Structure 1
Amino acid sequence: MKTGKKVMILLLIFVAAVIVYFIHPVGKKEEHGITEYTAMEKAKFPVLYATMGEREMAPVFGQTEERGVTADRGSLIVLPEDRKLKVRFAGTTKIQGLRYEIRSLDTEDLIERTQVTSLDAAINGDSENAVSAELLIQNLLETGKEYLLGVCASLPDGSEAWYYMRIVEKDQGHVNEMLALAEEFSSKTYKYSDAQSLAMYMETSPSANSSALGTVTLKDTFTQLTWGSLGVERTGEAYTKLKELSGNLANVEITTHVTAKDGEKTETYEVTENFTMKWASQRIYMMDYERTMTELFTGDSDLFSGKRIILGIGNGDGVHAVKSAGGQYTAFVTGRELWAYDSGENVGARVFAFGGAASDDIRDNVPEHGVEILSVDADGGIDFIVYGRMNRGTHEGSTGIAYYHYAMDQNALEEKFFIPSTEPFEELKDDLSVLAHRGTNGIFYFYMDHGIYGIDLKSLEYVALASGLTKAQFAVSADHSRAAWQENTGIWDSQTIQIMDLDTGDKTQLGGQAGSVSRIFGFVGNDCIYGTGDSGDYLMSNGRVMGVYLKSIDIVDREMKSVMHYEKPGSWIREVSVDDSRIHMKTVTSKDGFFGTYSADTLVCNAEILPGKTDDIGWYASDQKGQVLFVQLDRDIETAKKIRQASPKLAESSETVKPIETAACRETEFYAYGRGRFLGRFVEFSDAAETAYNSMGFVTAGRDRIIWVRGNRASASYIRDITSASRLMERYLDSFEINQTMEDGTFLLDASGSTIIQVLYFVGQNIPVLAYTGEGTSMYLTGYDQTHVRVYHPESGATEVLSMETANQVLGAAGYDFICCVPTL
């Protein structure tokens, strides 16, 4: 009997050891050559919950960065009337002390800094480490103005964690009503009978995809809204977050996990719902709704079938795959996790994940990070980066780029170095989508915060190749193997262009001729497109530089040989855009300025179509799931063999490579946001407004100053005192410096290229819009309703009402050339 018990105990110990090694090797260390491998440390930073009204809002996660340099537009808290903000900390670590500071959104101005003297055990805490406190915010805030609140928690090991959220002092009533509607809407979708009342919000469009569940909007079908035939159930908490508040317009996000049965198998999905709502005295209007869901990949054997790896339902965000030469090894990213498959050994490996389906710790699954595969070699070696917020491990709470190498033959994962970033995750993601490349010369090239950098993977020496660049001043080939950029001058004044082969490191200079300027336009395949003109030969409009006249367009291949030269004597090129293999141009025969007539011309290029990282991602239709994503393999999976899973050993690095501070960007950039997320940075306001428009979004000048909101416009408006309203414009008109902030806080906005509907937002804010109708002629937009636009002619003092159709004809013929002065708040 005793022997049997000993055998059973030994068996249990063996099983536990196997689970620990293959599934989650916590605390295990071993020597492999000179590299020490161990498990990634568990998250230690507590989680902060702030209370707004009667509800505890979505969690805020700790950062190591002070002053919120990487804080995004995540959480917004409307303070209670007495400005006593209740917060609760929960987690595996108990905080030892607490202080907070309030700054302007750009972090430059300190408003308040206070030490919290009283910490209490949280009544509704989920562990013995839960602590609550009350932040007694002083009466120093301007009503309606947003500030950045940074809460600093002292931890037992002497380190500190910072928690950032925006705060605003205003009435909570309408906000709480909109939060309640979002929560009610979300809950009703899970039960078909309850969801009938949601039909009033639907705007089903025949052009919508009626089968996908990965992304669902109000334009989709009611069946999709109610989860089709998936039969989902909400599991765990549903977290509500107020993302934005502008006037009576609010953006709310709800995140949760749901499960569904597929036969005997239970599948888990990550779900995010985003609501844009507008409060009115009679009802709350649902302006926009989007739900995304991603199936959490488990790596189970039944997901490997035929020539496919089944990923499940998803919206495609971040999903990509890279294969080795010959196709034996396939690396793929899904749900912010990196997986690898060896078809020779029939082994699947979960190479990297902070959490995912294997973790129930909310701190592991913070979504502000991504994974990008750089290369997969013929021996199964995978180079990749993890970028954004580090959820656990050595760099927990830091924002940046961690570079890893995985050796499949040894099942070993090694972090090479970490690069800290001063950009929030979504901006960093946007930058790395432009350039992140491991050259065959052993150098990692990337674009971050307006600079192009290169880091030697052996010596960790780095160089800043270019700085102060907007996306209008450089271009990268589709496979990220070539980059070209203008020197750090104005967009229209660069004499030279640098072109670099990011595999060999060879750099070539174009242009440089005295009295000439060069403009980079992009790549077609690996062929670089650029234009050449005379220095100072500007395209002008009423004293503003709108472009430069170019004499020729050239295309050069990887060997810097000319592929195409376009030039017509007596003709100039005033505008160029590249669309896949086509180059679209506007040409003129006389330099009549912005309002002169032009002809359209198109060049068609025969360039090689480069392979992309999503080429091997496909989908098929499922009766239960709708569209199901999969990775396409080059060879069949042997059905006789069961997929063996392996979790790699990990070696974390203490090497930190901090790129030098480079030249600042000279241009004001416009940030587009919509559906609760960052959509991109743009040099032209019109491009940002167009991007934000379809997502019921908004635009900021720089990172923090909101200047345009789509949904926050009245259906009709009229500026009654045009004399007073136009004083700012009259003050700056003769020396209008486009897209600049003046000493009094006025922002001089060039809105050229925007639609009338977009610029009428400013009229609704009592800001007249000056519309040029020719050189030296203009009129003000001063009012509107659903079908008409009111204009004021400053020379004659006359007021005129135009139909929307007529206004588009008149202003469209003049190129929709708008400017306005946006006053400081």
Structure 2
Amino acid sequence: MKTGKKIAVLALIFVAAAIIYFVWPLGRKEENKTGVVYTAMSEAELPVVYPTALGRELAPLFGHREELAVTAERDSLLVLPEDRRLPIRIQYGDEIKTLQYEIRTMDMTHLVERTTVTDWTEENGQINAVLPVQNLLEPETQYQLGIQAVLSDGTSAWYYARILETDNDHAAQMLALAEDFSQKTFHYDSAQELTTYMESTPSADNSSFGTVTLKNSFTQMTWGSLGVSRGETVFASLKELSGDLANIELEYYVTREADGGAGGMDGGETEVYGVTENFTLKWSSQRIYMMDYERTMNQLFSGSRELFSGKRILLGISDGDGLYAKKSESGRYTAFVTNRELWAYDREEGNSICIFAFGGWNTDDLRAGRDRHGVEILEVSDGGTVDFLVYGYMNRGGREGYTGVSFYRYEAESNTLTEQFFLPAAEPYSELRLDLARLAHKGQNGIFYMYMGGSVYGIDLNSHEYVVVASGLDEERFAVSSDGSRLAWQEDTGIYDSRMLHIMDLDTGDKTQIGDGKSDAYRILGFVGSDCVYGIGEYGDHIISNGRTMGLYLKSLDIIDQNMASAMHYEKSGKYIRDVAVDESRIHLELVSDRDGGFFGEAEEETLVCNAKVLPGKMDDIGWYASDVRGRVYFVQLGQDISASQKIRTISPKKTVREENNEIHTEAQASGVEEKFYAYGRGRLIGIYSSFADAADAAYDPMGFVTFGKHDLVWERASRPGSYFIRDLNTATRKLDRYRTEFTGTSRREGDALLLDASGSSLNVALFFVCRNQPVLLYTGEGSFLYLTGYDQTHVRIWDPSAAQSMTIPMEEARARFESLGSDYICCLPL
């Protein structure tokens, strides 16, 4: 009963907040003489689809306005029931005139089925329907399901999920375990059963409830002394299923009654937290193993007076992801992002300003709280102007259901929020987030620069015209200073064959070209502070290893400062730079004197220390303190104290402004970029890499997986058995022997196979391919190699073609030996 009252109070709080922030001005629509339309952000209107699978109703699918899933996330996987009839429930929103679905291959190139749904009923404002999926699917193969709902105004909303037909119920059993595990964490006595799965270690960080894993203490896992209560609604998603391996995610909110504790935060208001639990589980006939677990917890910020204390604005418990603060020059205005919402504090007026928020984890309309968008602060002025981006999936308002980038300007003097422009995106939020993390900068010249889909765009904030600054880029062809003010890139040629490079000051728009385009080759190496680092080598002087291009020998290294003056020139007589790693203010070099040694030649190491200026960071004004009850509590650091008698008034923009025709549609750019490796872990995209080794390294700790392109699974950590031996080596090596001499150093598709360059991978990563019956070739020198053909807990089995013999090596000895040889692996995988 007590929990029910808490939830009811919480619902009233959110309804009231929604009325204050957004609903109050609804219907108040004005138009001035310039044709600018003033209106409040409208409530969400698109219906929500709840699929039923694995014996329960799963997390909802949200409506997209774009067709063919180009912006759909890799979020939901639905296992079809035995009869392939998939039940769905449709709630909220506009009347639905017609309903149909289509099934395509994951690359969207082939339509498998398109069917109009006739088996549906409507009652109490919701629709119950069944999708009668035909018997056209290959078992154990994922497909893209798109559900189209035609609304009363003739427009369509699309809902996307992956579907899979399988004859086992392992996923249902693993989902049941995840739900049971989650529920027991709230009950101390029954939680004792969870110790079977825990791996508590003394080195684990038990200072924060923001992130909890199996390595944390039992106290952390069971919520310590927080005294939180979970709501009745728990959204469950099957993120991935590969054989007996599943990734499952649970989302819900918890509440806590504040108790007047230390730090000035607990002032009696109900605290609300969004919680996400992610499970990586492995089924076996004996038991289900928990391979990985992570729980994140983020407190909702209300803007109330109790959160302002001394020189702090208290944000509460958080996993730290997305926290960001930025001050105006005098410090009058402090803008900050928490839980994908933008707030600001005006110390002179005492205003707590909710500048932008789609909505929190409220119980009345979950559409507003979908977490597939981000907020990026660009500039905060002493006049109260805040320029910022909202990017990703748009939960509500005139852009609802679209994915893209909105550039907003808030002006405190008029308390008005203006959408300057909207740029539709051709990639989902998870990829857009990675792109904008590379570059999103407002120049002092009135141009906004951003990286998206392999190109850098410059957008004039007055005319809304855009230019393509550079295209065909990947992480090895360009670099950005840490403050985003300088950009350097190579010409759109081979990564080791660029005869010129460009350095651009994004505040002034000034661009400098280095190289004459005729002689030497240039390599962008990165930035130390705002100084650009690049190397010069002879054109065509590639590092060749067993027929593959592995790099470029550099004759010299240069550092250019903001004024395009030389800050350092490094060159060593008789030495060539074989490898470079730029790490903040240090540059690590690998030097050789004999270029004929190639990848396997002896090298010496040297480190250059640079006197680089430390540039401002997003977390500079974010701090935390330790609470006896709540652990780590985050706050925004202010420049001066807030008086105890100071009244704080919470406000939001009274008007939202959007000019007509402010959409910017860019022409598709030829990427010129090879297919990439996508690293996933704990239910989300971690990164996109040119190197398989980098992708596998990113996915390794979170028990994740790697795809080549967006859909072809090539590696997953948790599914490797304890031992495996390839029986028919001649058959297994046939394709690799055929294509080995054609390797150029870049992973590529060859018919139904992937020629995989796994150089730089660890032995643990490489052995995954062996357990898939794919031998791994390890180069031991120029023209010599071994095959990895098996392993168990203590040994690795190899085949030496030169000696025509098989042998076993102790695991640790093999690891040390193979690393000393450069861990130069290649493999040929079926796709």
What TM-score, normalized by structure 2, do the two folds share?
0.95
Does the alignment pair 1:133 with 2:92? no
SS at match of 1:758: helix
Deviation at 1:39, TM superposition (A): 1.2
- Superposed, 1:624-635 pairs within 5 Å as 624-635=629-640
State which of 530, 536, 550 in structure 1 corresponds to 2:534: 530
The one-letter amino acid paired with 2:785 is S
Given that 2:362 and 2:369 are in contact with CA atoms closer than 8 Å, whether structure 1 keeps it comes out as no
Matches within 5 A, 1:498-509: 498-509=502-513
Quick one: which amino acid aligns to residue 707 of structure 1? V
Which secondary structure does the structure 2 equivalent of 1:627 belong to? strand
Gaps of 5+ in 1: 1-15, 123-127
Which segment is superposed worse, 268-277 or 188-197? 188-197
Quote the Cα distance in structure 1 between the aligned partners of 2:345 and 2:779.
60
Per the alignment, in what secondary structure is the counterpart of residue 233 of structure 2?
strand
Query: What is the match of residue 9 of structure 1?
Result: none
Partner of 1:767: 774
Q: For residues 593-630 of structure 1, what are the alpha-carbon distances to aligned partners after superposition, in whole Å with 9 as ceiling and x for unaligned?
A: 11100000100000110011210000001111100000
- Structure 1 residues 237, 172: closer, same or farther in 2, change over 3 A? farther
Match of 2:614 in 1: 609
How far apart are 1:357 and its partner, in Å?
5.9
Aligned-pair CA distance for 1:171: 2.3
Report whether the alignment pairs 1:29 with 2:29. yes
Contact 1:63 1:163 survives alignment (8 Å): yes
Cα pair distance change 1:17/1:539, threshold 3 Å: closer
1:330-367 superposed Cα distances (whole Å, 9 cap, x missing partner):
10000110001100111111000001167731000010
1:400 to 2:400 alignment? no
Aligned-partner Cα distance in 2 for 1:570–1:382: 54
**Preserved contact between residue 543 and residue 552 of structure 2 (Cα < 8 Å):** yes
When structure 1 is superposed on structure 2, of 86-95 and 56-65 the one drifting more is 86-95
Structure 1 residue aligned with 2:62: 61
Match of 1:251 among 227, 247, 251: 247
CA distance in 2: counterparts of 1:176 and 1:446, whole angstroms: 43
Deviation by residue 1:709-751 (Cα, 9 ceiling, x = unmatched): 0001010000000000001101111212444444522000000
2:816 counterpart residue number? 809
After superposition, residues 104-503 of structure 1 pair within 5 angstroms as 104-121=105-122, 128-263=124-259, 264-356=268-360, 360-503=364-507
Gaps of 5+ in 2: 1-15, 260-267
Partner residue in 2 for 1:520: 524
What secondary structure is seen at the aligned counterpart in 1 of 2:207?
coil
2-structure distance, mates of 1:117, 1:540: 62
Rounded to whole Å, the distance in 1 between the matches of 2:698 and 2:750 is 30
Structure 1 range deviating more: 473-482 or 168-177: 168-177
SS in structure 2 at match of 1:761: helix
Q: Which residue of 2 aligns with 1:4?
A: none
Residue 628 of structure 2 corresponds to residue 600 of structure 1: no
Distance 2:579 2:747 in 1: 23
Please name the residue that 2:680 is paired with.
Answer: 673
Q: In the superposition, relative to structure 1, how do residues 476 and 133 fare at CA in structure 2: closer, same or farther (>3 Å)? A: same
Distance 2:180 2:625 in 1: 33
CA distance in 2, matches of 1:346, 1:240: 41
- Residues 556, 369 of structure 1: alpha-carbon distance in 2 compared, 3 angstrom cutoff: same
Q: Which amino acid aligns with 1:528?
A: C
Cα deviation, residue 635, structure 1: 1.4
What residue is the counterpart of 1:3 in the other structure?
Answer: none
- Counterpart of 2:231 in structure 1: which amino acid? T
Residue identity in the other structure for 1:115: T
State whether structure 2 residue 625 is matched by structure 1 residue 620.
Answer: yes
Which of 718, 727, 752 is residue 759 of structure 2 equivalent to?
752
Taking only the aligned residue pairs, the percentage that are identical comes to: 54
Counterparts of 1:99 and 1:539, CA distance in 2: 55
Q: Deviations over 1:423-454 (max 9, x none)?
A: 11111001101100111111110001111001
Q: Quick one: distance in 1 between partners of 2:426 and 2:145?
A: 18
- Pick closer, same or farther for the CA change 1:379–1:23 going to 2, 3 Å: farther
Partner residue, 1:583: 587
- Deviations 1:115-146 (CA, angstroms, capped at 9, x unpaired): 11232126xxxxx2211111111111111111
Q: Does 1:97 align with 2:93?
A: no
Conserved 8 A contact 1:789-1:807: yes
SS at match of 1:40: coil
C-alpha displacement of 1:46: 0.6
Q: Which moved more, 1:648-657 or 1:613-622?
A: 648-657
In the TM superposition, residue 18 of structure 1 has moved relative to its aligned partner by: 13
Q: 3-state SS of the aligned residue for 1:535?
A: coil
Partner secondary structure for residue 540 of structure 2: strand
Amino acid at match of 2:498: S
Which of 652, 663, 677 is the aligned partner of 2:658? 652
Compute the displacement of 1:668 (Å): 2.4
Q: Check whether the contact 2:54–2:171 (CA below 8 A) recurs between aligned residues.
A: no
CA contact (8 A) 1:23 1:646 kept: no
Q: Is the 8 A contact 1:788 1:802 kept in 2?
A: yes
Q: Is the 8 A contact 2:22 2:42 kept in 1?
A: no
Please tell me the residue identity of whatever aligns with 1:352.
Answer: F
Amino acid at match of 1:78: V
Distance 2:364 2:208 in 1: 27
Letter in 1 for 2:657: A
1 CA distance for matches of 2:18 and 2:618? 35
For 2:361 and 2:250, locate their aligned partners in 1 and report how far apart those are by CA, in whole Å: 19
Separation (CA, whole Å) in 1 of partners of 2:288 and 2:397 = 44
Helix, strand or coil at the partner of 1:307? strand
Cα separation, 2, equivalents of 1:703 and 1:687? 16
In structure 2, relative to structure 1, the CA distance for the partners of 1:32 and 1:208 (3 Å cut) is farther
Q: Which moved more, 1:255-264 or 1:777-786?
A: 255-264
1:6 aligned residue: none
* 8 Å CA contact 1:94, 1:131 repeated in 2: no
Aligned residues of 1:527 and 1:556 also touching (Cα < 8 A) = yes
Deviations 1:79-131 (A, max 9, x none): 11211111111113232211111111111121111111232126xxxxx2211
Q: TM-score, normalised by structure 1?
A: 0.96
Match of 1:731 among 709, 716, 738: 738
Alignment partners' CA distance in 1, 2:163 and 2:566: 56
Shift in CA distance, 229/371, structure 1 to aligned 2, threshold 3 Å: same
Equivalent AA in structure 2 for residue 634 of structure 1? G
Q: Determine helix, strand or coil for the equivalent of 1:223.
A: helix
One-letter amino acid matched to 2:644 = T
Matched, 1:791 2:798: yes
* Matched residue count: 804
Distance 1:136 1:382 in 2: 51
Summarize the Cα distance change of 1:27–1:20 in structure 2 as closer, same or farther, 3 Å threshold: farther
Q: Taking structure 1 as reference, are residues 752 and 229 closer, same or farther at Cα in structure 2, changes over 3 Å only?
A: same
- Indicate conservation of the 8 Å contact 1:739/1:747, yes or no: no
1:666 deviates by: 2.5
2:372 counterpart letter in structure 1: E
Per-residue CA distance 1:249-292 (angstroms, 9 max, x = gap)? 10000000110111332111000000000001100000000000
CA deviations over 1:566-586 (Å, ceiling 9, x no partner): 001210001000111000010
SS at match of 2:640: coil
Which residue number in structure 2 is paired with residue 5 of structure 1?
none
Q: CA deviation at 1:809?
A: 2.9
CA-based RMSD: 1.6
Contact 1:394–1:652 (CA under 8 A) maintained in structure 2: no
1:161-183 CA deviation, whole Å, 9 max, x = no partner?
A: 00000011102411100000000
| Alpha-carbon shift at residue 817 of structure 1 (Å) | 0.4
Query: 1:358, 1:72 → 2: CA distance?
Result: 23
Structure 2 distance, partners of 1:52, 1:792, is 46
Moved more, 649-658 or 595-604: 649-658
Report the alpha carbon displacement of residue 470 of structure 1 after superposing the two structures with TM.
0.7
Asked if structure 2 preserves the Cα contact closer than 8 Å seen for 1:23 and 1:647, the reply is no
Question: What is the distance in 1 between the residues matched to 2:566 and 2:107?
Answer: 46
One-letter amino acid matched to 1:138? Q
Report matched runs for 1:690-701 at 5 Å: 690-701=697-708
Report deviation, 1:638.
2.6
**1:650 Cα shift?**
1.1
